[in-house]
Every structure is written in structure tokens, then in C-alpha cells.
Structure 1
Amino acid sequence: MHYQWNYEPPTPERQQAIKELAEKINMSPIVADLLISRGIKTESAAKRFFRPMMNELIDPFLMNDMDVAVDRLNDAMGRKERIMVYGDYDVDGCTAVALVYKFLMQFYSNIDYYIPNREEEGYGVSYKGIDYAKETGVKLIIVLDCGIKAIAEITYAKQQGIDFIICDHHVPDEILPPAVAILNPKRTDSSYPFKHLCGCGVGFKLMQAFAKNNGIPFSRLTPLLDLCAVSIAADLVPVTGENRILAFHGLKQLNINPSIGLKAIINICGLTGRELTMSDIVFKIGPRINASGRMQNGKEAVELLVERDLQRALTEANRINEYNEQRKDIDKQMTIEANEIVARLESQQHMSSIVLYDEGWKKGVVGIVASRLTEIYYRPTVVLTIIDGIATGSARSVAGFDIYDAIKNCRDILENFGGHTYAVGLTLRQENIPEFRRRFQEYVKQHILPEQTLPTLDIDEEIDFKDITKRLHGDLRKLAPHGPANEKPLFLTRNVYDYGTSKVVGRHQEHIKLELVDSKSAVVMNGIAFGQSADARYIKSKRSFDIVYTIEENAYKRGDIQLQITDIRPSETPESPK
């Protein structure tokens, strides 16, 4: 895939601001410019950004209903009531349940946890889960990463004498469930200063408030921050504000002293001994935790995350790894089938969105397939599976397009829906699929902008190879942890050419391993371009080309710098090799 490149050179006014900030922080103007683009314009702000402090976390009692939630939790413990910690079956939900359960278990033993079965109960609070709570004597349920739309279910629970504390971060409806307390920074009446916590983050804030109210040292929460880092990375929430603080210290915990369960997952991922990053969570740790809920039951993931014996944890981690391998096979086959449908349905190719369904597709994998199709076709995509006349599935979006609003526009023909700007889960009756497809596609056609239908790279800096030094790489590392709203910086270098040793590599000869020189110096840079072997012929022609890339440390040669090349294009003003 080739991208549209967006790059705006700094204005004279910005250049002056860059120069002044670079001098104050004693760093390269390149880093100073990256900070300014992130809204960091002073020396003190830069220091806070580089070293996020735990004492900068927001007072949890600023969140609506937090005082009520803590009072109800204290009452439950005082009356020795049975408490259930209930969560979604994805990474965010499982880590949230593990965090709250592990923390409370230090002070209270009459507690259980519950993860619904995706196939039998579906997303969110289920009647089966409430009935189980009733049978086991539960009086208080703390629900994490779901529940904000469970009006009927929580009303039913109330009739059974069970109270709910909701810890959610999904967009709420106008009418809220009859819970004792609803902790959600996205509430329309929310006074909480940071809106982008994940479900695990909201659970952490509840535990922070509980600790503060009961005189428990904050240090007792620190060992749980690795779970926060995993959830923030896997749920793709903005890595800014409070999330940056939690992710920064959570990654530190993950690298220095991870919990037994996460240590086992790190082991089966082959990451032991390496410095772990948010990318390792997104591409290796997260998918394995997710695989439990996709292929079997997310409760197995929670069992692993709360495990205290390393040998048992390694056994459980290997089982979850097997689920992940099965998930990969199913994901690959479903994506092939979905691509064949898109190719066969010529009408789909001319639409501004994709809506597909198949009765044979596995419910736990449709979200991944929707993401794959969005990446391939760069259109908002809905993928559904059908069981007993009910279609259930996931929607994924492209940058800048709010798919939640698009789905919400069809709510009168939906049984249920919920999610974020870029990812939504939905349920509808099979007979309503044609009308849903028509209305969804019409909404997308009317609201999507032309630039949102093109894969785009927003380039941070244009630099030369002589600018790429170990000191620059070291300074760039201070911008981590990376994620949405704080992506790895993308660099542009023009008029580069093959040093003569670049070659195609990979099991299927799909990648290019490069050695490059630019037109400004004799510096030779190593690079890797994944999945771009189609450009190899042009590269070997000795003509110059432009590249967009991130600057990385070579995973196999510690200390060596290499370029991870995102896109390649022929130079508009080519220069000959010197």
C-alpha cells in the first residue's frame, strides 16, 4: 500500500520557537519541534512530559459518583457481603478485572470474578451472569469495561437485591442504568478533567479512591500498574495526560518486575530479557490475552493474570498461546473469504463502506477481520456473523471518521450497540441487515470526507541521514510510551538511493532489507521495509527515491540504529548518486 504524504515545513515563527526550546532543554531542534507539535512549548512542560510523575495523577474523587462508589464498597466489606468483579472478555476487561480483584483480595476474601462467555452470553452484563451472582450470594457487582448501556439487566439485578458499581469508558446513552454509582469520564455531566481512560484505567481510579479513603499507601497499587500499561496499549486509547502517566510507570513495572501471569506471557512471546514497549503489548502480549475470550472463555485469561505460581502460570500461558495460534488460522481463512466476497460483489467496490456477513464466521474473530478489511480497502467496515437469526459483529473505521455516530444513526433497527469513535460492537436481527447496510452506507457516503478515504501519513520532520545520531535516537526514546495522540515520529528523507547491497528477504520474499545513502553525506543507513518488495526493482535501478520511516534500535544488534520504512516513492526531483 502506498500512502498520501502530509508534511508542512515549519514557519519562520515556529522555527524561532523551536530554536529557543531546543536551547532550553539542550536537545536537538528536531526533538524540540516534536514537542511543540504535541503542545509542549516550555522547559517545565518538557520535563514533565519526559518524566511523568505519579503525584500528577488526578484526584479520583473528581469523578462523578466516586464517593458513592467507595462508600458502597466500604459498606459491602463492613457487612461481609459477597462481591463480584465482572468484566468484558477482551484485554481491557480482563486486565481490569484482574487489577480490581488482586487489589481487593489483599484486604477482603469474600470476592469472586466473572467473565461472560462470548458465544453464549455476548458482550456486557448478562442475565446468566446476574443469575450466577444471585445463586452464589453476591450483593455487589463491580462491572468493568462494560455496563454503561445495561439498563434492563441492571434493573433485573436490582430486583434480585444486587447493587452495581459501573466502571466503564464507552459512550453512554442519554438514559443511564439504575446502578448505585456510574464511574465513566465520558458521561455528559462528567466533571473529570481527563476523558480518555480505558476500562482498566477507570477500575484503577476506583482502587486509588478506595485506598485513599481507607489510608492505604499508594505504593500498594504500584505492582498493578503493569496491567494498566497492557490495557492502555491494547485498547488503543490516547497515550496522553493521565494515560501517559499510567503507561509510563506501568511499562517500567512490566520491565522490572511484572506479575507472575504477565511474566509467563512474556516468556511464551520470546520477549524475556528485552526492553518491552507498547508495540510489544499491541502485537504480542495483547493478542494472546485476547485469544482466550475469542476462542474459549476470557476467564482463563483472568486466571492467568491473577496466578501466583510461575509453573502453573507457564502452563496456562502455553494453553492461551495455543488459542492464539488457532485464532490466527481462523482469522486468516475468514479474511480470505471476506476478500473474496468484496471482490465478487462489484457493488461493494464502489461503495464508501463495506458491510459483510456469513453464518459460518466465528463471533470472536469478526472484529479482527473488520480491522483487516479497513486496512486493505480503507473504508469503514462492518463484519457480522449470524446465530439463530441474530447478527452480531464489529465495526471498524478509518482515521477521522466517527463510526459510532454512523452506527447510532441506525439504532432503531439494532438490538444493541456500543463502543468508541473507531470501534463499535453491534447486534441486530438477520432480516434487518439489508436495511442496515443501506442506511449505514448512505450515512457514510454523506459524511465521510474525501481525504478520509485515502491512507495518509502525517510526517513530523524532514531530515537528512547526517541528522540521525545515537544521541538523537536516545532523545527520541524519551518521547515514549507511544500510542494514539503520541505516535512514533515519522521522518522524511528525500533523494536516497541504494548503496548497492539492498536485497529482498523473508519467507515469501516480501520484505526489503536496505542499505541506503542520501544526497547530503556519505552516511550509510540500514533499513527494513516490511511487505514492500514490489519496490525492489526501482530501488535496484540506482535512481533516487524518497522514504518515510521511524527510527528504531535493531532488535538483533543492540545499540545499532535502523530505519523502519513505512513508504517509498520515486523522488520528484531525482538526484544522481555521488
Structure 2
Amino acid sequence: MRWTLKEKPQAAETEALQKALNVDATTATLLLQRGIKTFEEAKTFFRPSLTDLHDPFLMKDMDKAVARIEKAIANNENILVYGDYDVDGTSSVALMSTYLKSIHNLVYTYIPNRYDEGYGVSYKGINFALENNFTLIVALDCGIKAIDKVAHAKELGIDFIICDHHRPGEKIPDAAAVLDPKREDCNYPYKELCGCGVGFKLIEALASKEGKTAEDLTEYLDLVATAIGADIVPIDGENRVLAYFGLQVINTNPRPGIKAILAQVEKTELTITDVVFIVAPRINAAGRMKHGNYAVTLLTEEDDELATKYAAEINDYNLERRETDKRITEEALVQIEKNKEQDRLTTVVYDKDWHKGVIGIVASRLTETYHRPTLVFTKSGEFLAASARSVKGFDVYNALEACTEHIEQFGGHKYAAGLTLKEENYEAFKQAFEDEVSKTIDRNLLTPEIKIDLEIDLDNITPKFNRILKQFAPYGPSNMTPVFLTENLIDTGYGKPVGADQTHLRLTATQAGTSKNVVGIGFSMADKFEIISNGKPFKAVYSIDENEWQGNISLQMKIRDIKA
């Protein structure tokens, strides 16, 4: 692990913010590291308000989108709400269809089949619209690159409204409206919305025509917060506001589908991290193992009893998904070792029988293991399909763009993408991808990095400081959980490997010059026990965590790494 201590702000800046907010230097430093420099910015950060959201009509084509939907309602047209099969896509479809059904009777949903249609807008979906007399498709979390498909639909008399957040290609589809803050000609002030976030801006714009504001639409924010967490978009600006209020809905009055998922786990108050690891995998499992329609059905169900039944089915898909991705990850690791590819700068693996629904998860696990840009391929109809994952700091989308001569289709983000290619192009692509990454990657990025906010003493770990840290949430990209470094630590003699298989490390640390003891837990870190044993001094990088035991809450270090 590379430990990188973030640069401290200028002393004068820290002192000025301390004075303005009446806080200690540590809190002021953490705020300045997040770009918060004034009292007003701190107020917006600590007290998010739905009035801080931007006017939806600042987004390019929003007026056209609203006008086309109003026309469809006036003319009694059938509207098809179309979205991808992942969490962002299914949450978006649930959000948009629920809202549109509240103002129009002829609203239906469509999720493409991962296996015979693949990602995004499909010809099969357009044919379905044609056969069932749909004249308007609202596509969410997809469509920005569907130039030919949108043109084909237009020839058939079907209009598209696209709500996407992926990077556009050189051309924009010829749709009735294309909402995407990443369009170069879009001046919308916040660029990092997820697909469900763009969908929320559209319903906000529609509702404004009836004199309503975002505060009248809070019931939809549990879906938006779930999509924000699952899609790993930055949790700053508008996303922070949407996630903050979405979590409030999840924790106080979630829709029956999310409530039924939460009933499966014993959790009193969910954070964005819990949404990512508890809610999102279950919703995702439907599209991975069966069909994304199951997720939409769960998320739109209004009856508690039926929602409980659907959540149980989806939980079964999630258990099946876990077993499948564990097996495929093991097979991929064997393939890498067998081919002696440890010295490459990329990981590219393929097996025709691997389950297409879990290759993205497998790619993430391999990236964690080897810490290099990774692609996992499987057979998909007449093509090979892959999920790509990257290491922090390296843009895998750009690397794929440089290999387009070997690719049929691709799309995605900086750190996650998907693509298809012909089987005969696999080896040529594999080499081209390795060559491109070798040319462009900073070799330091191939060693995992821990970014440390501040060096502190154990004496800093107090209930008051923890209460302040909790107000920094919701955490996520652009506002990660603060990570601290403490040196000159000694285990008091209670350190030992723990857990059913003795793979975790638990210790009780004290620091030279203090009388304070703090418990630390390091998951999968039992191999570090030798570093802390027999009173040897060590340093630790950690976040501050609450440990609840028999009704008592104490503070502990959630250890990220230990060095002598």
C-alpha cells in the first residue's frame, strides 16, 4: 500500500475558517480539503436544502422534453418508460413510471434482457413499442450513443426522450429531447448526476408546471439515493443534497419494496455504504440472474405483503449471484496464474461459459487482487461481451476508445465500461489494450493507494469529534470517509487474530505520551499481527467507527493498513 498524506491547507486559511465557524483546526482542515472555504459553503455542506437544487430548465432540451410529454398526455398517447437492467436503470424506470402514472393512464415499462438484447436501447425494444402502439419512449440511464436506433424509431413514428449521464460520442441522437449534463453544449451547472438523477430533474420540471417544487417530490428520493450509491457517482453538489434527503426517506418512510429489503437485515439506520452493500446488490441481482423487470416490480409495488414476497425472490437471486461470482472469480484467478500473466499491466480473461450477469463483479474482484485495468469476457450470442474496471486515477474509457478498431460497441465511464467484439478480434484487442495501457498509465497507479486526510493523536478520538464527523456524511466519491494516521502506537497486549477463520485482527492501542486506549479492528489483516506483537511500535491508517455491543456504543479504529 502507498500511503499518501494530503497536503495541508495554508495556516492562514485554516485559522480564518476556524474563526468563521468556531471549530477546531482538525475540522477546519477537513472542510478545506473538501473545497469548503467560507461560512456560506459550510452551511450548504452541513445543512443541505432542496432549495439548493438547480432549476431543471437549465438543462439543455428540458423544455423540449416537457413539451413532448405534455403533448403525449394531451393526445392520449402510449408512453413506454425504458431503462437499463442495473440499479440506476431500474430505479430510474421505477421513478419515472410511478410519477408519469400519477398524471397519465397510458404508461408502461420496458427493461431489456441482458442476454439477448444487451445494454441500452435495443431494436427488440423498439419493435415492442411499434407492435404495442407506443409513440413515445422515455429512455433512462441509456440512449446517448443509440444514434442508429433512435433514427430507426423515428422512421417508424416513435419519438425518444433520452435521460442519460454517460459520455456522448461525436454525434447526439436525433431525438425529441436529449437530457445529458455531459453534453458539451449543455450548460447545466452540475455534471455528475446519475441516470436516476437526470430522471428526477425531468419529473421536477414536469411538476413545476403544476406549481410543485422538489419538496413535493421527496417520496421519490429513496430511489435517487439508491442509484447515486450504486452508480458510485461523486457525492458533492446536487448529488449530496439528493443523497442526504433520499437517505432520510430510506430511514423514515421508504417505499414498500425498499422497506421489504431492509426487513431482511437488522439495521437501525442506513448510510450510503449500507445502501451500496445491502440494497443495491439485491436490486442488481434481478437483472444479473433473471430479469430487470423483477426489480422494477419490487420498486413500484405499493402493497407491503406483495413487496415482501418479491423481496424474498430477489434475495434468492442475490444468493445465487454470490455463489456464481465466487466460482467464476476462482476460475479467472486460475486462468491468470496458468497463463503466467502476472507481469502484464492489464488483466484480460475470457471463458465462453461464464455468466454474463456477474462478469462486472468478477472484474472488480480481479482489480482488487491485481490492481490493474481489467476486462472479463464471456460469449454473448455471436459476439464476446466484456465488463471493464479500472484502478483509481486511470481512465479505462479513454483506453478502450484507443482500441476501437477491434471493438463493435462500447460505452461507460472513467472507471467502469462495457464492450462487445467479434471472437476473432479477441487476441488482437487484448494486445492493443495492453499496449495502450502500457503507454499511458502512471506506474504508481498499479500500487494501491490510501489517501490520508490528517495525522492525529488518539486523544483526538472523542465523542464530540465523532459527532462532527457524522455530519460530513453522506460519504462517497469527492467526499470520502476521513482517513487518519497515528504514529507511535503500541498494542496493550490484547491484539490477536479473530473471526471464525482467524483472518481479522483486533487490537487495543495506546500511544506514547497518552493514557488513552482505543480498540482497532482490521478486516482480513491477521497477517499483520507480527507487526504489532510483543510491544513493537507501529503506525496505523484508519477511519473512526462506532462499535455497538450489548446496547453500548464505543468508538474504534477501523484499520485500513499497519506499518512498523
TM-score of the pair, normalised by structure 1: 0.96
What's the counterpart of residue 327 of structure 1?
321
User: Partners in 1 of 2:382 and 2:108 — Cα distance?
Assistant: 34
Answer yes or no: is 1:366 the counterpart of 2:359: yes
Question: Structure 1 unaligned runs (5+)?
Answer: 571-578
Written as runs of structure 1 = structure 2, the 5 A alignment for 1:547-558 is 547-556=540-549, 557=551
Q: Are the aligned partners of 1:103 and 1:221 in contact in 2 as well (CA < 8 Å)?
A: no
The code of the aligned residue for 1:264 comes to A
Deviation digits for residues 265-311 of structure 1 (CA, Å, limit 9, x no counterpart): 1111332xx11101101111111110000000011001000110111
Q: Are the aligned partners of 1:386 and 1:392 in contact in 2 as well (CA < 8 Å)?
A: yes
Q: Are the aligned partners of 1:516 and 1:525 in contact in 2 as well (CA < 8 Å)?
A: yes
Deviation at 1:170, TM superposition (A): 0.5
Deviation digits for residues 528-561 of structure 1 (CA, Å, limit 9, x no counterpart): 1000000113322210111000011114455311
1:464 aligned to which of 450, 457, 460: 457
What's the counterpart of residue 251 of structure 1?
247
Deviation at 1:9, TM superposition (A): 5.8
Answer yes or no: is 1:28 the counterpart of 2:21: no
Answer yes or no: is 1:4 the counterpart of 2:2: yes
Q: Are the aligned partners of 2:6 and 2:451 in contact in 1 as well (CA < 8 Å)?
A: no
Deviation at 1:403, TM superposition (A): 0.4
**Other structure's SS at 1:559 match:** strand
User: Partners in 1 of 2:213 and 2:451 — Cα distance?
Assistant: 43
**Other structure's SS at 2:535 match:** coil
What's the counterpart of residue 208 of structure 2?
212
What's the counterpart of residue 351 of structure 1?
344
Answer yes or no: is 1:339 the counterpart of 2:333: yes
User: Partners in 2 of 1:19 and 1:517 — Cα distance?
Assistant: 30
What's the counterpart of residue 304 of structure 2?
310
Deviation digits for residues 496-554 of structure 1 (CA, Å, limit 9, x no counterpart): 11111122111211101221111131111012100000011332221011100001111
Q: Which piece of structure 1 moves more, 293-302 or 538-547?
A: 538-547
What's the counterpart of residue 124 of structure 2?
128
What is the root-mean-square deviation in Å for CA atoms of aligned residues? 1.2
Deviation digits for residues 449-493 of structure 1 (CA, Å, limit 9, x no counterpart): 022111001100100000110000000111110000100000000
Q: Which piece of structure 1 moves more, 210-219 or 488-497?
A: 210-219
User: Partners in 1 of 2:283 and 2:39 — Cα distance?
Assistant: 40
Specify whether residues 352 and 522 from structure 1 end up closer, same or farther in structure 2 by C-alpha distance, changes over 3 A only: same
Q: Are the aligned partners of 1:197 and 1:243 in contact in 2 as well (CA < 8 Å)?
A: yes
Answer yes or no: is 1:64 the counterpart of 2:60: yes
The code of the aligned residue for 1:450 comes to R
**Other structure's SS at 2:82 match:** strand
Q: Are the aligned partners of 1:171 and 1:419 in contact in 2 as well (CA < 8 Å)?
A: yes
2:481 aligned to which of 476, 481, 488: 488
**Other structure's SS at 1:421 match:** coil
1:517 aligned to which of 510, 521, 544: 510
Alignment coverage as a number of residue pairs: 563
**Other structure's SS at 1:119 match:** coil
Question: Structure 2 unaligned runs (5+)?
Answer: none
What's the counterpart of residue 190 of structure 2?
194
User: Partners in 2 of 1:495 and 1:338 — Cα distance?
Assistant: 41
Deviation digits for residues 14-34 of structure 1 (CA, Å, limit 9, x no counterpart): 223223322322222111100
What's the counterpart of residue 110 of structure 2?
114
Q: Are the aligned partners of 2:20 and 2:39 in contact in 1 as well (CA < 8 Å)?
A: yes
Deviation at 1:48, TM superposition (A): 1.0
The code of the aligned residue for 1:522 comes to S
2:15 aligned to which of 11, 19, 36: 19
2:442 aligned to which of 437, 449, 471: 449
Answer yes or no: is 1:430 the counterpart of 2:428: no
User: Partners in 1 of 2:534 and 2:112 — Cα distance?
Assistant: 57
**Other structure's SS at 1:560 match:** strand
User: Partners in 1 of 2:563 and 2:540 — Cα distance?
Assistant: 7
What's the counterpart of residue 301 of structure 1?
295
The code of the aligned residue for 2:215 comes to S
Deviation at 1:388, TM superposition (A): 4.0
Deviation digits for residues 554-577 of structure 1 (CA, Å, limit 9, x no counterpart): 14455311111000110xxxxxxx
1:82 aligned to which of 71, 78, 90: 78
User: Partners in 1 of 2:208 and 2:27 — Cα distance?
Assistant: 38
User: Partners in 1 of 2:470 and 2:545 — Cα distance?
Assistant: 9
User: Partners in 1 of 2:389 and 2:303 — Cα distance?
Assistant: 38
Written as runs of structure 1 = structure 2, the 5 A alignment for 1:160-239 is 160-239=156-235
Q: Which piece of structure 1 moves more, 46-55 or 382-391?
A: 382-391
The code of the aligned residue for 1:68 comes to K
User: Partners in 1 of 2:175 and 2:55 — Cα distance?
Assistant: 22
Answer yes or no: is 1:383 the counterpart of 2:376: yes
User: Partners in 2 of 1:40 and 1:432 — Cα distance?
Assistant: 49
User: Partners in 1 of 2:405 and 2:87 — Cα distance?
Assistant: 30
User: Partners in 2 of 1:165 and 1:375 — Cα distance?
Assistant: 38
User: Partners in 1 of 2:363 and 2:195 — Cα distance?
Assistant: 22
User: Partners in 2 of 1:482 and 1:234 — Cα distance?
Assistant: 13
The code of the aligned residue for 1:6 comes to T
**Other structure's SS at 1:191 match:** coil
User: Partners in 2 of 1:502 and 1:283 — Cα distance?
Assistant: 28
**Other structure's SS at 1:349 match:** coil
Q: Are the aligned partners of 1:141 and 1:164 in contact in 2 as well (CA < 8 Å)?
A: yes
Q: Are the aligned partners of 1:526 and 1:563 in contact in 2 as well (CA < 8 Å)?
A: yes
**Other structure's SS at 2:29 match:** helix
Deviation at 1:214, TM superposition (A): 3.2
Deviation at 1:324, TM superposition (A): 0.6
Specify whether residues 170 and 317 from structure 1 end up closer, same or farther in structure 2 by C-alpha distance, changes over 3 A only: same
What's the counterpart of residue 575 of structure 1?
none
What's the counterpart of residue 533 of structure 1?
526
User: Partners in 2 of 1:555 and 1:426 — Cα distance?
Assistant: 44
What's the counterpart of residue 576 of structure 1?
none
What's the counterpart of residue 470 of structure 2?
477
Deviation at 1:217, TM superposition (A): 4.5
Written as runs of structure 1 = structure 2, the 5 A alignment for 1:413-424 is 413-424=406-417
Q: Are the aligned partners of 1:466 and 1:520 in contact in 2 as well (CA < 8 Å)?
A: no
Q: Are the aligned partners of 2:121 and 2:143 in contact in 1 as well (CA < 8 Å)?
A: yes
Deviation at 1:8, TM superposition (A): 4.6
User: Partners in 2 of 1:8 and 1:300 — Cα distance?
Assistant: 44
Deviation digits for residues 205-243 of structure 1 (CA, Å, limit 9, x no counterpart): 011111112323543311111111111011000001111
What's the counterpart of residue 398 of structure 1?
391
User: Partners in 2 of 1:123 and 1:187 — Cα distance?
Assistant: 20
User: Partners in 2 of 1:289 and 1:541 — Cα distance?
Assistant: 47
Deviation at 1:7, TM superposition (A): 1.1
Q: Which piece of structure 1 moves more, 217-226 or 49-58?
A: 217-226
Q: Which piece of structure 1 moves more, 500-509 or 292-301?
A: 500-509
Q: Give runs of ≥4 in structure 1 deviating > 2 Å.
A: 8-11, 213-220, 555-559
